């Protein structure tokens, strides 16, 4: 192969003497494992690659491959056949490289592509007497002819999976079937279709004016065969620098272009037509650009106004939601305060009288027992004395427990409804609050055969607030954790630390309990919401705790996985950045 530029010739000579021979040897032994690179291609894809009338490979791809092999100093064996078979041959290793494959993102999972050496303009081909299809969207639901395993076959499977496809082995067969009246359209690259239309004398078909897509077209190797691909990329670059690539391109891909006209005719037509058009076009361009600039400015202004209005509406909606929620909580607080007061008075009377009933029962029981021995069992009201003697003490005890529970719930209702006026100016140590809370719940947790493991930080910054209120929150979190544990031998972990990045003091309570369902997490601090209704919970503990933490400028965060436990983190703002030494823990 003749190289025209001296610089390229010198480069080729150096490659041949030093690296070229080694490269060829690599291809033969260390690279692909054989002396000849087997190059595959489609036997009927003119003008890129096809078998000519003498039965030999021909076309743009074929001549380009041979030129690359010559300039790089290795041998090639070109094998053309049906496209479907060539793709299988590449996958099975019978072919080292395909000299022409259209690029798609999906195909990169199977092959690696070279630098493109051409562009394919895919077109819709229709019959001249049937102009219903003018765009790719109008192909949906039609009967479409495509070559099997071609790039357009891949495209149609994704574009319209329910399409009625007629699959052919070659593009020539696809156009022939369309010309004979089969299908509604065929998807064939524009240049190849024009070549085949002329070669086969197909008079009834034409391409739609605009191509539906443009695709890069180049060499392709099996995924990971980088050595062969690098050789072809390098050879292609040398041919482009030498100008030989352009000669091959003009020879094969310029065959369908119109014959050039004389310069005299061009000058005459330009003189008669172009000058008035240029004047009109110049004025139009100036006016169009001015209008575009104004439209762009106005569009930007409108977009800004719309964004500002949307932000204002969103902010208004958020404020409305907050006001509604605040109004609901205020009304609920007023109602709760009144109900708690009305319940507390009669319940206090019940708690006051129940001990007297027990005292009367204990004092009268010897007399009643003696009467029972002398006269036998008798009736008290409608009930047998023997039955009442066994059940009445339990009934009184249960009634007293129920009254105490009412008192506890009323106390929680008062805490919820109260406008807390507690002094929040105390400089408290979260470690000391945690230790105080642990002492309060130690017996309760021990009775349930569970244990608490504490990991308290060596040093923590102070927190501004009310230590009793914070202790109330920690006790509530520990009791909730204890109540969620099932079985024995489970543990509760409590820890403290200082988040220096956010300057927050954190207390975490983690249990190994049953956990909380994801749909319930967001409602845990809602008043009267509880997952322990059957166990006596009234749903105020976490709501009160969250309110206390909020008064201290902090937050209460929950993380849970059903069956694996719950983690609650209390975050409070640190009063000072410099920590003070404290106890490590229990």
Is residue 258 predicted with pLDDT exceeding 50? no
Q: Is the pLDDT of residue 6 over 50?
A: no
What is the CATH topology of the domain spanning 309-416? Helix Hairpins (1.10.287)
- Asked whether the predicted pLDDT for residue 226 surpasses 80, the reply is yes
pLDDT digits 0-9 by tens, 110-160: 999 999 999 999 999 999 998 889 899 999 989 999 999 999 999 999 999
d(CA 259, CA 460): 88
Comparing CA positions, the residue from 363, 116, 371 lying closest to residue 249 is: 116
* C-alpha closest to that of 430 among 475, 453, 455, 461: 461
Give the confidence band of 321 by pLDDT, cuts at 50, 70, 90: low
| Predicted local confidence at residue 76, as pLDDT | 95
- Count H helices, E strands: the chain? 16, 24
Angle at 398 between CA 392 and CA 403, to 5 degrees: 125
pLDDT at 539: 58
Torsion, Cα of 26, 32, 34, 40 (10° steps): -130
Strands 164-168 and 143-147 come out as parallel
Task: For residue range 569-585, list pLDDT tens digits in order.
Answer: 999 999 865 444 444 44
9 falls in which pLDDT band (50, 70, 90)? very low
pLDDT for 168 equals: 95
- The pLDDT value given to residue 546: 86
- What confidence category does residue 88 fall into, taking pLDDT thresholds of 50, 70 and 90? very high
What's the whole-number average pLDDT of the chain? 81
Over residues 63-89, mean pLDDT: 94
Going by DSSP bridges, is the β-strand pair 213-222/580-581 parallel, antiparallel, or unpaired? unpaired
Q: What is the CATH number of domain 422-573?
A: 3.30.565.10
Report the distance separating Cα 569 and Cα 572, nearest Å.
10
The residue extents of the domains of the chain are 36-253, 309-416, 422-573
Q: Which one is predicted more confidently, 87 or 412?
A: 87
> Residue 556 phi/psi, 5° resolution?
-120, 115
Banded model confidence at residue 286, pLDDT cuts 50, 70, 90? confident
End-to-end CA distance of the chain: 88
Least Cα distance to 548 among 367, 422, 396, 382 occurs for 422
Torsion angle of the four alpha carbons 318, 323, 326, 331, in this order, in degrees rounded to the nearest 10: -140
**Nearest Cα residue to 169 out of 185, 141, 145:** 145
Residue found under tokens 């049937």: 130
Class at the top of the CATH hierarchy for domain 36-253 = alpha beta
Confidence of residue 259 (pLDDT cuts 50, 70, 90): very low
pLDDT of residue 316: 79
The whole-angstrom separation of Cα 35 and Cα 73 is: 11
Share of the chain above pLDDT 90, in %: 40
The DSSP result for 469-513, as a single string, is HHHHHHHHHHHHHHHH--SSS-EEEEEEEEETTTTEEEEEEEE-S
Say how far apart CA 104 and CA 153 lie, in whole Å. 12
Return the pLDDT at 422.
Answer: 60
User: For the segment 520-548, what is each residue's pLDDT rounded down to a tens digit?
Assistant: 777 777 776 666 655 555 556 788 888 88
Cis ω for the linkage preceding 222 (within 30 of 0) = no
């Amino acid at each position: 192969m003749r190289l025209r530029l001296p610089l390229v010739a010198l480069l080729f000579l150096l490659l041949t003497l030093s690296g070229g021979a080694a490269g060829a040897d690599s291809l033969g032994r260390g690279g692909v494992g054989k002396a000849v690179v087997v190059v595959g291609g489609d036997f009927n894809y003119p003008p890129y690659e096809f078998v000519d009338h003498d039965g030999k490979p021909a076309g743009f791809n074929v001549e380009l491959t041979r030129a690359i092999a010559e300039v790089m100093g290795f041998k090639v064996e070109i094998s053309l056949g049906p496209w479907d078979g060539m793709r299988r041959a590449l996958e099975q290793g019978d072919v080292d490289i395909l000299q022409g494959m259209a690029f798609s993102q999906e195909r990169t999972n199977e092959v690696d592509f070279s630098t493109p050496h051409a562009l394919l303009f895919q077109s819709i081909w229709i019959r001249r007497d049937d102009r219903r299809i003018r765009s790719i969207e109008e192909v949906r639901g039609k009967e479409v002819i495509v070559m099997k395993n071609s790039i357009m076959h891949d495209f149609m499977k994704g574009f319209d999976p329910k399409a009625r496809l007629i699959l052919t082995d070659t593009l020539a067969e696809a156009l022939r079937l369309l010309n004979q009246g089969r299908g509604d359209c065929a998807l064939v690259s524009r240049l190849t279709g024009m070549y085949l239309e002329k070669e086969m004398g197909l008079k009834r078909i034409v391409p739609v004016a605009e191509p539906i897509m443009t695709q890069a077209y180049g060499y392709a190797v099996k995924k990971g065969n980088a050595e062969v691909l690098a050789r072809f990329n390098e050879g292609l670059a040398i041919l482009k620098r030498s100008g030989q690539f352009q000669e091959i391109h003009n020879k094969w891909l310029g065959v369908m272009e119109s014959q050039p006209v004389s310069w005299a005719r061009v000058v005459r037509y330009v003189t008669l037509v172009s000058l008035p058009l240029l004047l009109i076009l110049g004025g139009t361009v100036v006016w169009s650009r001015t209008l575009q600039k104004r439209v762009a400015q106005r569009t930007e202004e409108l977009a800004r106004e719309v964004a500002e209005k949307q932000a204002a509406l969103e902010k208004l909606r958020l404020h409305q939601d907050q006001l509604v929620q605040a109004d609901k909580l205020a009304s609920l607080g007023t109602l709760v305060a009144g109900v708690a007061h009305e319940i507390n008075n009669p319940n206090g009377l019940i708690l006051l009288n129940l001990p007297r009933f027990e005292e009367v029962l204990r004092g009268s029981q010897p007399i009643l027992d003696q009467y029972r021995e002398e006269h036998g069992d008798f009736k008290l009201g409608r009930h047998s004395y023997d039955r009442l003697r066994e059940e009445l003490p339990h009934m009184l005890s249960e009634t007293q427990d129920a009254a105490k529970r009412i008192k506890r719930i009323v106390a929680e209702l008062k805490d919820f409804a109260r406008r807390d006026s507690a002094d929040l100016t105390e400089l408290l140590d979260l470690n000391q609050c945690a230790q105080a809370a642990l002492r309060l719940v130690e017996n309760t947790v021990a009775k349930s055969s569970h244990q608490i493991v504490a990991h308290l930080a060596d040093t923590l910054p102070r927190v501004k607030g009310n230590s009793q209120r914070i202790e109330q929150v920690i006790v509530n979190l520990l009791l909730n954790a204890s109540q969620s544990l099932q079985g024995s031998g489970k543990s509760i972990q409590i820890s403290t630390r200082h988040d220096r990045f956010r300057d927050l003091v954190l207390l975490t309570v983690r249990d190994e309990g049953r956990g909380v369902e994801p749909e319930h997490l967001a409602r845990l601090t809602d008043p009267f919401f509880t997952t322990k209704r059957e166990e006596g919970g009234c749903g105020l503990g976490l709501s009160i705790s969250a309110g206390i933490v909020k008064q201290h400028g902090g937050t209460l965060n929950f993380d849970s996985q059903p069956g694996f436990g719950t983690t609650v983190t209390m975050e409070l703002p640190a009063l000072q950045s410099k920590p003070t030494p404290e106890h490590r823990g229990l």
